[in-house]
Structure 1
Amino acid sequence: MALERRAARLVAAGATMLAMGCSGKWTTHDDGAEMAGGAGGSEGTAQGGDPESAEACTAGEVRCNASGLRETCTSDGAWSVSDFVCARNVAVDDDVGSYCVTKTDGSYRCWGVDPGGTLPAERYRRVQLTRQGLIGLTEDGRLLAASTVLPDGLPPVASFRATNMWGDQGVCPLFVDGSFAVLLDRIEESLPELTDTVMEVEGSFTQALCAWEGLVAGVRPDGSLWQFHGMETIPGEFTQVAFSNRIFCGLTKAGGIQCFEPTITCGSGGITNCAGPEYPEFSGGPYRSITATGGAVCALDAEGALTCRRYDGADMPIDAGRFTFIEGGYDLLCGVRTDGSGACFHHGGWNLGEVGPFVPVEPALDPGW
């Protein structure tokens, strides 16, 4: 990697989390739709056949085709292509409660308090609105930011997440070569031992991400789960990980879900309302995607149906339809529906037993954008 390897002792923060609202305004970038070239790989969108496919269908059925455009089944049982560009993903910021929809043409739209600054006109695969502004991953693997200071010479990036890291903003990119790093924008004077702004994690990953207050975890190529604090490794055949400071869950290759007591910050800093003595169990399946909020774990099954469980295992009914992509944050769950539109939900409460049901976020994501 082009980054200089540094060793730093990272301190787990046990600060009590504060509830975050979603007030703000829309930030829209549509330049991607005007740029030359195809829509690129559409992660998270429902993939149909060729736009001119003669495949039979049921009248009223809606899907997104391989070009990222919405198709609707007509009364004569044929697919009709529209000019509606499907969403690729919805990025949730669990620090400030914002969310951004990125479409398959590289354009994006965000809701939340934007501190200012703009991203260059590019085609983006994922855009996130953080407390320090927009951060975007371009379709050719470059990580760009409106205000956040990023190191020069970053290798090509496969995915990223930005969040609060030990009180400061951090960006956690997973690089195309499987390496993973934590990038800190600034260092608090109260933590002088954190002198480095780049921490490279040993080894390689197939998935890795960070969450609120310095939580870092990932999946190794051998299928084991790794979490930074305690350097604990859980053996298995996992493909995805979802976590907060109160729970740690993995999705297996067979589509099952296993949840564990986290060693990260649970029980420290006054945090005692952790998952347990029961953990959420997911029957049915197989599942193909998992994510976590501050009080729930959610999963998509093979048909796109959404199931959510509170940390103590209690069911959290959510009549949300079918999805192709989901991402959770502090108290937010956002996703992409099979028709290519985005939707967000939030739950009330934080302490175990007080987490309420998911309700739609208002104002709703504009289905016509």
Structure 2
Amino acid sequence: MKVYNQIIYIITSLSAHGAQKNLCRFIEKSTKYDIKNICVYTLKDFDRSSYIYKKISSNGVNIVKLDGFEFFRLLSKKILKKQFCKNESIVLFAWMYHSMFVSFFLKYFIYHNSKLLWTLRHGEPFHEGIQFKTRIIIFFDLLIHRIFNVPALVNSRKGLISHTSIGFKKNLLYLWPNFLPDHRLKPLINNFSTDKEIKLLYPARYHAQKNHIMALEVLKILLYDFDISAKLILVGDGIDTLFSNLTKSKQFHSILEYVSFLPSTSNIRQYYYDSDIVISTSSFGEGLQNIIIEALIYGKLVFSTSAGDASEILTSKFIVKTNQSYDMASSIANCLFSMRELSDHENPYMHDYSEQYKKLIQFCDVSDLFSIFNKALK
């Protein structure tokens, strides 16, 4: 049996999204094993000052933009020196649909004896936010997967079901949930006093999938229907575009003073610590959301729509159907009443938080990280 102990990563970009965060964690943990991380190929330009770039580089891994010039350089090097043909221990580990497609050409033109391994991050491959070009890429990924039996690691049960339904082979898909941050549980503290302004945190990039309009509606309902003093903190890539769009509209003009619009940051942990409640208002396409994992790890109550695998972790008190703004606001209001009026021992929300954390640890057991990885390579 071949031993695959060298990894070349291929990923679409180095933006600070869920896939990239998990790539960083995988590389960090791989250093404890007999694994050589050769390089990370990214399909888009990257910022050397970005959090993800610094995190990967700090582990001694070279980052290279894989454009036409780089591909030609690799091909020429292979033809002239024939040095890649002999190496049989390399894994081409591709993250996300476009990178999966590119990895196939890397294997069959450059790294002939390598092993392809993919990760499927989306809960729904053909959700409404997927561009036409990406739909074509997914179609070719599916063909490659079926013809060449490429194994894939899937980060959610939702993703397993949805990808199998469009033709991916069930026996080649392996459940590989998002990994827990290295920081262990920061206990939930009940500090929801009656006169306190409640800070809601939604850390997500600006995209139709993330449904920031629902988050704003939740805040508006809390302020005016439930008379709750609250503030919404939005953190992520493209949030400045959301702010610009909102200033041109009258729909949320009355609540903009209660909203903070902040760019993506490497110190997201501090925003979790400074908030009271975390929300996720995604409407489609999710797998297992990092927001849910991070909120529970950092000792926060989290309310989410039912998108993706939210119900695998959260109990019913914390989940509403997609686009149901009033229901989420009502759930938050009920929670605040309970937290303010009941002792911790009597409080069902405190109990549910503990149960959710236990489910999270079980579902995202980091000890399975490399055992599942190696199983997929056999």
Structure holding more strand per residue: 1
TM-score, normalised with respect to structure 1: 0.27
TM-score, normalised with respect to structure 2: 0.26
Structure of greater Rg: 2
